[in-house]
Amino acid sequence: MKILVCISHVPDTTSKINFTNGDTEFDTNGVQFVINPNDEFGLTRAIWFKEQQGASVTVVNVGGADAEATLRKALAIGADEAIRINANPTDGMFVATELAAVVKAGNYDLVIAGKESLDYNGGMVPGMLAGLLGFNFVNSCIGLDVNGTEAKAVREIDGGKETVSTSLPLVIGGQKGLVEEKDLRIPNMRGIMMARTKALDVKELTTTETASKAVKFEKPAPKSAVKLISADNIDELIDLLHNEAKVI
C-alpha cells in the first residue's frame, strides 16, 4: 500500500492570531508552527499501517520553505519521504489540484488528509481531492482498517457514528479518533537524526488556477465585560437569561 499523508503547516493551537499588511495577511511574527492536529492523527495511523501491515508513507505539503521544518518533523515521526510543492497556498481548490497531480504521479492508493486545517478551516481539500481523482471518500473519519484493497471506516455523524465499507483507491478526511491522543508520537533523537537524511523533494507548480481569494481578515469585536452575579442570587441570573439574553 502506498500512502500519501497531506500535511498542513499551521499555527500552534495556543497562538494569538494577528494580521498585518492592512489586515490582508496572517502575522507569523512570534508564531510557533506545527503539523495540523487533524493531519497528525492521520499521519500516526499511516505509520501504524507501515509498521503493522507494510506500507510506504509519503508526506506532502503545499507551502513555502518555512514548512520544511514541519515536514522534517513528520519524517522524524516515521514517514519515509517528503514532498513540498513550492507555493503560497491561498485557495483550497488550488491546493487540491496540486495534490491530485502528486497522487497521480506517485500512484498512491490511500490518501489521508485532515478534515480541516486549523488556520483557514476551509474543510475542502480532502473532498475536492477525492472529486478530482474520482477516488472513494470518507470524511470526519474516526477509524480506519485496510485489508488488501478493502477498507472499513468509521465516520462521525451528528449525534453518533457510522461504519462504512469501501475500497482503495480512497481519500480520508481524518480527525481525532483515527488514533487516540495518547498514541501520537513525539519524535525521538534517532528519528530526528534519520529524518535529516530522508528525501525531501521540492516540486514546482502544475497550475496557477484559483477559485477564491482572501480579501481581508478581521478580529472579533472586543467583548463587553462579564456581568458578575452573586452565588447567592441565582434568581438574578435566571432573570437576565430570560429577559435580557432571551435564551431561556
Chain positions 41 to 100 lying near another protein, rule: CB under 8 A, are: 91-93, 96
Read off the C-alpha cell for 219.
478580529
Residues 6 or more apart in contact with residue 208 via CB below 8 angstroms = 94
CA–CA distance, 164 with 234 (Å, rounded to integer): 48
The count of chain residues that interact with another protein, using the rule CB under 8 A, is: 80
CB of 6 to another protein, least distance (A): 14
Encoded amino acid at 107, one letter = N
Stretch that binds another protein, among 8-16, 63-71, 76-84, 187-195 (CB under 8 A): 8-16
CA–CA distance, 107 with 95 (Å, rounded to integer): 18
CB of 2 to another protein, least distance (A): 19
CB of 245 to another protein, least distance (A): 4
Interacting residues with another protein between 100 and 139 (CB under 8 A) = 118-128, 130-132, 134, 136-139
Half-sphere exposure of 211 (CA within 13 A, CB side): 10
Stretch that binds another protein, among 62-70, 78-86, 191-199, 235-243 (CB under 8 A): 235-243
Residue number with CB closer to another protein (104 or 242)? 242
**3-state DSSP assignment of residue 102:** helix
Distance from the first to the final alpha carbon of the chain: 54
Given candidates 22, 29, 226, 243, which one binds another protein under the rule CB under 8 A?
A: 226
Residues 6 or more apart in contact with residue 90 via CB below 8 angstroms = 210, 213, 214
CB of 205 to another protein, least distance (A): 18
Interacting residues with another protein between 143 and 202 (CB under 8 A) = 152-153, 155-167, 173, 176-177, 181-182
Question: How many residues comprise the chain?
Answer: 248
